[in-house]
Amino acid sequence: MLFVVMIVFFILPQMRRQKKERNFVNALKKGDRVIMKSGMHGKISELNDQENFCIIETGAGKIKFDRSAISSELTMRLNKPSTKK
């Protein structure tokens, strides 16, 4: 019984989160505004599928990052339309 509870409350939510993150990273395209896990904001200027990296254009210039460094949570919040006026 304890094993079933562990699966339902710990393992399944983690697997869903990982799948959502993987789908987000695969759906990125040139021109998307993103936030890195370090907090850096920028716009994707180039994607490389073979080496799994992207080049982010920031105010300081262009920087090469691994795709996994992009925060899906913060980026979705950034691109969500604001309801405040």
85 assigned to some structural domain: no
The answer to whether position 84 is within a domain reads: no
* pLDDT score for 74: 81
Asked whether 71 and 65 are in contact (CB, 8 A), the reply is: no
The token pair that represents 75 in the structure block = 């980026």
3-class secondary-structure state, position 10: helix
Question: What is the reported pLDDT for 73?
Answer: 79
pTM to 2 decimal places = 0.71
Full residue range of the structural domain in which residue 60 is found:
2-79
**CA 73 vs CA 4, 11, 17, 22, 69: distances in Å:** 28, 20, 10, 12, 12
**Residue 43: closest CA among 30, 33, 35:** 33
Q: What does the pLDDT read at residue 19?
A: 93
**For every one of its 85 residues, what pLDDT tens digit does the chain have, with 9 covering 90 and above?**
888 888 888 888 999 999 998 898 888 889 999 999 888 999 999 999 888 899 999 988 999 999 889 988 788 887 777 666 5
CATH number assigned to the domain comprising residue 18: 2.30.30.140
